[in-house]
A = this chain, B = another copy of it.
Amino acid sequence: MKRPATHGVTLADVARMAGVSEITASRVMRDRGPIRAETRDKVLRAVAATGYVRNGLAGSLASARSNLVGVILPSHTNNVFPEVMAGIGQALSRSGYQPVVGVTDYDPATEEALVRSLLAWKPAAMILTGLEHTRETRRMLETASIRVAEIMDIDNRPIDLAIGFSHLEAGRASARHLLARGYRRIGYVGHDLDADLRAAARLKGLVDQLGEAGAPLERRHLTGGASSVQRGRSGLGALLAQHPDCDVVVFSNDDMAVGGVFHAMAEGMDVPGRLGLFGCNGLDIGQALPKPLSTLRANRQRIGEIAVERIVMDDGPETGPAIIDVGFEIVAGATA
């Protein structure tokens, strides 16, 4: 197997230069086992002199473990995921792990393909979003014998560990809050819920609770596509055109809700006097509005952090599938 001897400085080169065996150099690099200070110095000098960069592929292959962690998120555009990613990224870097990232665009088949190719890197752990996966995805994750965290949702049985909150319950809580405030003619503006199962679960909770309270949710407008400020703005316009009698509108997401607030502002509508607006997800932006958005918030960054802490830093005994409910809170705000 000939290949042009590239600049590739190997551990062997370093060891030779330092006058030690390869394994000793390896131990110095990894801070493993007892090494005489003098020996360590020799090796480190050789490393500096050669500009050696360790080959993680070879190392991980030999030791059958890597410091890579697979992270699969549904979307780049939905603002909640950068936040989750921030939590994950920070916690990982603290512990010397590195994320390999994939995005599914809410498609289970894409997710399956991603899981397959991420598993190829023998990651130390895997973080994915939600609890719904294809049968094959579950199979692969179960046989991989690595820790798996499923984040955001806890309304089902996880493969290993679920971290998040109940979206169904979140929907119900929103409903109770609005009912308590006296709203009865409730409207809903949502994005594409076929894909976003968690937003759909929140809606279901909302619908159920409102139905039980005798104020069924009949005024709805669904826009296609991903959630965005723009769609929230136009969506509220469309909803009100059809159902001008709404006294409050719930949005599938905070960015949608912010759009709603902007629509109301542009129309000079009195919020919450004439119309209440209620979001979901507690994005920063909503809280910086002139009137802070009434919404439902979960600490997403924390979800990412906990996921990492539990599956990569925790060496504790495996205890079977576990669920961590980080809960959520109603942010009263000033718009509903």
**A interface residues (Cβ-Cβ under 8 A, vs B):** 3, 6-7, 51, 53-61, 64, 66, 68, 76-77, 79, 81-82, 85-86, 89-90, 93, 98-103, 116-122, 139-140, 143-145, 228-230, 232-233, 255, 258-259, 262, 265-266, 284-285, 287-290
Contacts and interface: CB of A to CB of B under 8 A. Distances in A.
What's the number of copies of this chain in the assembled complex? 2
B229 A7 contact: no
B262 A57 contact: no
Task: In the A-B complex, list the 4 residue pairs whose CB atoms are closest, starting with the nearest.
Answer: A56-B120, A76-B86, A229-B288, A82-B82
Contact of A98 (B51, B89, B101): B101
Nearest to A7: B143
Nearest to A140: B53
B122 A55 contact: yes
A198 B329 CA distance: 37
A98 B117 contact: yes
A121 B51 contact: no
B100 A68 contact: yes
A144 B52 CA distance: 11
22 contacts: A6-B145, A51-B139, A53-B119, A55-B61, A55-B122, A56-B117, A56-B120, A57-B57, A77-B86, A82-B82, A82-B85, A89-B101, A98-B117, A99-B100, A99-B101, A100-B101, A229-B284, A229-B288, A258-B285, A262-B290, A266-B290, A285-B285
Nearest to A87: B76
A79 B288 CA distance: 15
A98 B86 contact: no
Nearest to A143: B7
